[in-house]
Amino acid sequence: MSEKAIKNSDILFIYDAKLCNPNGDPDDENKPRMDYETQRNLVSDVRLKRYIRDYLMGLKNNSGTPIYEIFVSQVEGETVDATNRLKKLIGKYRDEIENNEELKDLINKDGKPQEKELSKHIDWLLSKLIDIRLFGATMPLKSEERGASITFTGPVQFNWGYSLNKVQIVESSTITSTFAGRGEEYSTMGKDWRVYYSLIAFHGIISGKRAEKTKLSEGDIKLFDNALLEAIPLQATTRSKIGQTPRLLIRIEYKDDATFLGDLRKYVKVKPEENLRDINELKLDISNLIDLIKKNINKINKIYLWKHEDLEVEGNELENSIRGLGIDVENLPHLK
């Protein structure tokens, strides 16, 4: 991995959801999460990270082998606890470990994985787990004397997402599912809750100082940018999730690891805010965001940008507005 220091970034990621359930609340009949006072649709950061993890887990090389290891995942279709996940990781790379004198203590004389020894081999562990380099995690390590854990605070973090528009929930209809069991058919009934239209915005950060701790590389960040754009179309494909599309990604990279400008969602507005049913019915006002960038131009190293062609930005064209400030702009992969 690159040893080049990672700089701070602020992230604005916007996608929309049409006639689907972006993030159901299991404590409320799986209704879309809502702030009912403001009529804003809510989506947890955990939901967004799950899309990204599943996307990365699905990337494979030409031989069909997964390219990336994901710590927070199922292994071979089974849910495993953190300790067994680490054991399986050691077992998967047994040949590599046995051929490396420095790593040999990860396998005992009986050939069993010794996950409690991983605290001595943090760099190797991080080199294998891209989601830990990105998002961090707590890894419990059992020992004979007492429990221990390794905790990584991920450099990539998100607030909960919320809709820029006021959202209406589709009145639910009761759905029936039928399945077979022991020679008989069984039926279950449930509610099918969806939103009419929700333009969901997330604010995230990349912390340069945290990146140093988890060995996050520039290559990892580029992969993360791609994942934000590609994960939802590829992973949100179940009956209740289909209908979600990325619309805008702006990542402001600063010149150091000390600068953040804060929640970028405060500087964008959707017009109109109510009774929306489709992307073609709205405009996104980014004038305050352009002003913010202009005021802090000396702190900004580069802006990474992608916009869906169906998203209309009020006023000047987005990329030209930023380039007009004299800031280096790099276009992210274009998706239609």
Using DSSP bridges, classify how beta strands 161-163 and 184-206 pair: parallel, antiparallel or unpaired.
antiparallel
- Nearest one of 216, 218, 292 to 250, comparing CA atoms: 292
- Angle at Cα 323 formed by Cα 319 and Cα 329, nearest 5°? 75
**One-letter amino acid identity for 133?**
R
The two three-digit tokens of residue 310, written as one number:
């169906």
Q: What backbone phi and psi angles, to 5 degrees, belong to 58?
A: -85, -5
Tokens 């915005």 belong to residue? 201
Nearest residue to 114 via CA among 137, 98, 130: 98
Summarize pLDDT for 245-271 with one digit per residue, the tens. 999 999 999 999 999 999 999 999 999
Query: What's the pLDDT at 146?
Result: 53
User: 49, 51, 90: which is closest to 69 by C-alpha?
Assistant: 90
Q: What is the rounded average pLDDT of the residues 113-141?
A: 91
In sequence order, which ranges of 180-317 are alpha helices (DSSP H)? 208-214, 218-235, 287-295
What is the per-residue pLDDT for 191? Answer: 85
Q: How far apart are CA 54 and CA 71, in angstroms?
A: 11
Helical residues (DSSP H) of the chain, grouped into ranges? 45-58, 82-92, 94-98, 122-128, 130-135, 208-214, 218-235, 287-295, 318-323
Please tell me the pTM assigned to this model.
0.90
Structure tokens at 131: 């989601």
User: Which pLDDT belongs to residue 334?
Assistant: 45
| Cα 45 to chain centroid, rounded | 7
pLDDT higher than 50, residue 144: no
Structure tokens at 67: 């390219």
The token pair that represents 234 in the structure block: 């590829």
At residue 240 the predicted structure's pLDDT band, cuts being 50, 70 and 90, is: very high
Cβ–Cβ contacts within 10 Å for residue 295, how many?
10
- Predicted pLDDT at 324: 87
Give the pLDDT of residue 122: 93
In 3D space, the residue among 97, 145, 95, 146 whose CA is nearest the CA of residue 118 turns out to be 97
pLDDT, tens digit, for every residue of 152-194?
999 999 999 999 999 999 987 665 544 555 666 555 556 899 9
Respond yes or no on whether the N-terminal peptide bond of residue 272 is cis (omega within 30° of 0): yes
Residue 60, pLDDT score: 93
202 closest CA partner among 33, 8, 12, 34: 12
Of 15, 18, 5, nearest to 270 (Cα)? 15
Q: Tell me the Cα Rg of the chain.
A: 23
pLDDT digits (tens, 9 = 90+) for 8-30: 999 999 999 999 999 999 999 89
Average pLDDT score over residue span 126-132: 96
Pairing of strands 329-331, 300-307: parallel
pLDDT grade, residue 70 (50/70/90)? Answer: very high
